[in-house]
Amino acid sequence: MLPASIQITGEMLSAAEVQDICESLKEDGVRLLSVRGCQLSDRDFGRVCRSVAESRSLAQLNLNLGVVSSIGRTRHLADALKTNRSLQTLFLHGSPLLDAGLVTLNPALSTHPSLVCLDLGDCMLGDEALGLICGMLPPDGAKSGLRELTLSANPGISSKGWARLSIAVAHSSQLRVLNLDYNPLGDQIAGMLAVAVASSRTLEVLDLEGTGLTNQSGQVFLDMVENYPTSLRVLVLAENDISPELQQQICDLLSEGEDDDDREALPLVPDPASITAFKQIRDKYHPIRDKYQLPAWLPHSNSSTQAVLLTSGLDHLMACTQSHAPHGSM
C-alpha cells in the first residue's frame, strides 16, 4: 500500500487524533504530514516529533503558522530531525523561532541527508540565523545543500546579512528556488542579488515581491537578462515601485530564453519521481490582504531536468494516491 497524506488545517487536535497520526508515522504509512495552524499540547507535539524520528516514509512535514511555538518544541523537532533520514521538505513558515530557535535546529538541519526544501518565512530571524542558513548552501564541490529556500518576511535581517546570503547564493551548487518576498531589501540589496543570480549556474526562480524596489533595480535586472546568460526562468517583482512596462520587458526576455532552451533540449522522458510528485504548500506572507495565501507552487524535483513549473491553482499529481485523515478531523 502506498504511503498516504495527512492534511489538517487550523484545528484543535485531540489526544486520540494525535495517536492516530503517530501510529501512521511509525507504520511508515505517511508521506506527507501537514498540521498547519493546528493547536496541540506540548506533550502531544513531543509525541508527534518522536514518531517523525521513527518514520522512514515521511517526505514532507508542514508545521506552518505557529505550530512550533516555543523553544521547547524547537528542541523536540531538532531531536526528531537528528534521527529521521527520509524528510525532504520542511515548512516552518510563521513560527516564532528567532535566532535562538535556528541555533537549536541548525545541527540537525545542516546534517540531514535528504532535506532539500526549507521554508523559514516569517520566523523572526536575524543575522545570526542567516549566517547559519548560508551554511546550508555549500559552494561548488562541497556537500549537497538546499534546492529551495524561503526567507519571506524576516525584517530583522540587516543589509550585512543579505549581502552574506548573496555571496552564498552566487556560489551554491544546488539552489534553484529562492523566495525573499516581503523583506525590506531595497535597491542596494537587489543589486547584490542580481550579481549573485548572474554568477549562479542553478538558480531558476527568485521571488522579490514587495521588497521595496524601484525602477533602478528593474533596470539592473533588465540589463542582466539582456546581456548575460543565466539559469533564471522566473523573477517575481510584483508589489514594487517598478513600472509595468519594465517588468514586462524582463518577463518577455526570460520567456524568450526559456523558449530557446526548450528548442535546444532533447525530448524529455517523464521521470517517475516527477509523475508521483506530491503537492507542496508554501504559505505566502501578504501584509495587506489575507496574510497567508496559497501561492504558485514552486516544486523541487529529483530529476535531472532544469525545467521549473509555475502554476496558479492547478491540481497536481500527488505521491499519495490515498488521502488519510485521523478520525474526527474532517
Please give the sequence-ordered ranges of beta strands (E in DSSP) within 35-95, or none if there are none.
60-62, 89-91
Instruction: State whether 57 and 152 are in the same domain.
Output: no
According to DSSP, residue 278 is labeled P
Residue at 282: amino acid letter: R
- Beta strands at 284-285 and 292-293: parallel, antiparallel or unpaired: antiparallel
- Separation of alpha carbons 106 and 188, rounded Å: 29
Closest C-alpha among 294, 292, 297, 295 to residue 316: 297
Domain boundary, last residue among 209, 243, 258: 258
Number of separate domains in the chain: 2
- Determine, yes or no, domain membership for 217: yes
Domain boundary, last residue among 213, 231, 258: 258
Instruction: State whether 130 and 253 are in the same domain.
Output: yes
Instruction: State whether 141 and 227 are in the same domain.
Output: yes
Instruction: State whether 158 and 220 are in the same domain.
Output: yes
- Determine, yes or no, domain membership for 294: no
The CA-to-CA distance between both ends of the chain, in Å, stands at 22
The parent domain of residue 225 ranges over 125-258
Residue 221's pLDDT is 97
Q: Give me the CATH number covering residue 176.
A: 3.80.10.10
- Separation of alpha carbons 196 and 208, rounded Å: 14
- Determine, yes or no, domain membership for 98: no
The dihedral through the CA atoms of 187, 91, 37, 8 has a sign that is positive
- Determine, yes or no, domain membership for 243: yes
Instruction: State whether 130 and 178 are in the same domain.
Output: yes
pLDDT tens, N- to C-terminus, the chain (330 residues)? 567 899 999 999 999 999 999 999 999 999 999 999 999 999 999 999 999 999 999 999 999 999 999 999 999 999 999 999 999 999 999 999 999 999 999 999 999 999 999 999 999 999 999 999 999 998 866 577 899 999 999 999 999 999 999 999 999 889 999 999 999 999 999 999 999 999 999 999 999 999 999 999 999 999 999 999 899 999 999 999 999 999 999 999 999 866 555 544 433 333 333 323 344 556 665 543 333 333 333 333 333 333 333 322 223 323 333 333 444 443
Instruction: State whether 249 and 146 are in the same domain.
Output: yes
Instruction: State whether 197 and 246 are in the same domain.
Output: yes
Residue 297's pLDDT is 31
- Determine, yes or no, domain membership for 301: no
CB atoms within 10 A of CB 143: 12
Residue 280's pLDDT is 52
Question: What kind and span of H or E run contains 99?
Answer: helix 98-111
- Determine, yes or no, domain membership for 275: no
Instruction: Name the grid cell of 34.
Output: 501537514
Domain boundary, last residue among 258, 285, 308: 258
Name the region of 37 (left: φ>0; alpha: ψ -120 to 50; beta: rest): left
According to DSSP, residue 68 is labeled S
